[in-house]
Chains A and B, each alone.
Chain A
Amino acid sequence: MKQRAINVLNALAVFAALVGVWQLILWVFQVPPFMLPSPRAVVRAAGARFPMLLNSLAITAEESAGGLAASIVVGVLVALLFAQSRWVRKMLYPYTLLLQTVPIIAIAPLIIMWVGAGIPAVILIAFIISVAPIIANTTQGLISVDENLVHLFLMHNASRGQLLFKLRLPHAVPSLFVGIRIASGIAVIGAIIGELFAGSGRVGEGGLGYSILYASSQLQTDYMFALVLAASVLGFGFLFLVMFLEWYFLHRWHESARAPEAE
């Protein structure tokens, strides 16, 4: 408990130092506000348009969550398929790497053409770039079961289904969470990138990425900074939520289950 308080204080001290450096740069180099606004201007801009900021945050949160949820469902299903045979794995695994390396910016126009601009397109983009780590980690978890445990199940004439749902799947849950943790960060980034291309049906109203683009075109640099900060908060919130769930589900039995405050 005491350690946690010290950690929080340290983090706050670093934050204060960063704001100090920021302010110092403004004073020393006399940077014009449209290039780098002062911390106070950013807070003021955020306050003045708080409902709008919150609305953008909610839209991006929804898109990220949608993309991540789709990644978890599809990723686990694909991993279950991959766990069935080495042959399937060898044949299909390269394509999951393709998902990871596809230049999302290049295919964004295609996606907009297929599903139209707006939230569904953004969810699709967030999904495409966040599904690979879930497939990879879950597959690894499903197939890395101790041979003796498989033998134990065989000795009791376990069916294929029992092997999968009573042995492989529970064994893969910690790896699944590693995948989700990685994917959660990427999904938020994916949603913001997606919004830059497929942002919104209506002018002036959309998620964080869209609003950042819009604010930059209006030279509202202070509000842009506020949006960027909101995006960071969102990413952090996602990661924290995932880590909490991981701890909640695993701490009773898994050796490496970490407490949410451990990272």
Chain B
Amino acid sequence: MNSKAGVPEIELAGVTKQYGNAHAVLESINLVVAKQEFISIIGPSGCGKSTILKLIAGLANPTSGTIRVDGMTPLNARETISFVFQDATLLPWRTVKQNIGLGLELEHAPNAHREKEIAALLDLVGLKNVAKAYPRELSGGMKMRVSIARALATNPQLMLLDEPFAALDEMSRDRLNEEILRLRAEQNWTAVFVTHSVSEAVFLSDRIVVLATNPGRIHAEFQVELPAPRTSAIRNSPQFDAIVARVSHTLRETLQS
């Protein structure tokens, strides 16, 4: 990875997004994400959480303001970004293995490298014994693992995750949250994680950004000071509960305003 030292991973300056003449979805967003930081974006429905991710990914253009990813425009930085969608968005006609290899295939990675990378990821996310299965044979949690493995396959520097676990039951969600932290500790990517769940945000993040709606804007930010490494036990600590309570309280403010 050829990341430039000293340059923040993401920089949004005065970003406004408006569709047509309708009222702004996002207004004057200023946000800086440091390299290897894990931030969560949380807020009520319609506050433009997912739009921020799309803007960073270059899948949508801001109406005004500038966006830099590792000092580049989002389009130029694309090779270093992976996106994990709310649905697993797997190709149903491909096996687990072939799905994980999709990104490498599209980027014309050599075959040998692809095979090696896929094998390592199957191991890493615990999908070895379903490598040849088709998505329809997998549970929701397993599909999401495939989706994450596919995102990691291209060795990203920045992971954008758009409510990836929203459709899962709580147990699968907790397990995958722990897995995300483990993977991140091994690979050191930066992450922007959009979620509806306060406890998920607190468990995962270094920092939480709370958005307010109408127009979407940054309402508050929280530094999450929990000891590393975080394990599942941390969810039962009073510290954890205190932060969840504070964030939840702030989130409620955004609904009343």
Contact = CB atoms under 8 A, between A and B. Distances in A.
Interface of A: 146, 148-149, 151-158, 162, 166-167, 170-171, 173, 252-255
Contacts of A146: 87, 89
Interface in B131-162: 134-136, 154
B44 interface: no
Contacts of A156: 78, 102-103, 106-107, 154
A148 B87 contact: yes
A157 B107 CA distance: 7
Contacts of A158: 106
Interface in B37-94: 54, 57, 59, 78-79, 81-83, 85-87, 89, 91-94
Contacts of B81: 155
Given A154-B59, A156-B107, A157-B78, A253 B92 contact: yes
A162 B106 contact: yes
Grouping DSSP codes into helix (H, G, I), strand (E, B) and loop, the A interface class, with mixed when no group exceeds half, is helix
B57 A155 contact: yes
Nearest to A250: B93
Contacts of B134: 252-253
B91 A170 contact: yes
Contacts of B136: 253-255
A254 B79 CA distance: 31
A166 B86 CA distance: 22
Residue with the greatest number of chain A CB neighbours at <10 A, chosen from B54, B59, B86, B94: B59
A105 B168 CA distance: 58
Nearest to B83: A155
A152 B107 CA distance: 12
Closest 9 pairs (CB-CB, A-B): A156-B106, A253-B134, A148-B85, A253-B93, A156-B103, A148-B89, A158-B106, A170-B93, A253-B92
30 contacts: A148-B85, A148-B86, A148-B89, A149-B91, A151-B54, A151-B57, A151-B83, A151-B85, A152-B83, A152-B85, A152-B89, A152-B102, A153-B106, A154-B59, A155-B57, A155-B81, A155-B103, A156-B103, A156-B154, A157-B79, A157-B106, A157-B107, A162-B106, A167-B91, A170-B93, A253-B93, A253-B134, A253-B135, A255-B92, A255-B136
Contacts of A173: 93
Interface residues on B, range: 20 to 34
A146 B135 CA distance: 16
A42 to B, nearest CB: 47
A72 B81 CA distance: 40
A93 to B, nearest CB: 27
Nearest to A153: B106
Nearest to B106: A156
Contacts of A255: 92, 136
B114 to A, nearest CB: 13
A171 B89 CA distance: 13
Nearest to B89: A148
Residue with the greatest number of chain B CB neighbours at <10 A, chosen from A149, A154, A156, A157: A156
Contacts of A149: 89, 91
Nearest to B90: A149
Contacts of B92: 253-255
Nearest to B160: A155
Given A151-B59, A152-B89, 18 more contacts: A146-B89, A148-B87, A149-B89, A151-B54, A152-B102, A155-B78, A155-B82, A155-B83, A157-B106, A157-B107, A166-B105, A166-B106, A167-B91, A170-B93, A252-B134, A253-B93, A253-B134, A255-B92
Nearest to B75: A157
Contacts of B91: 149, 167, 170
A173 B79 CA distance: 30
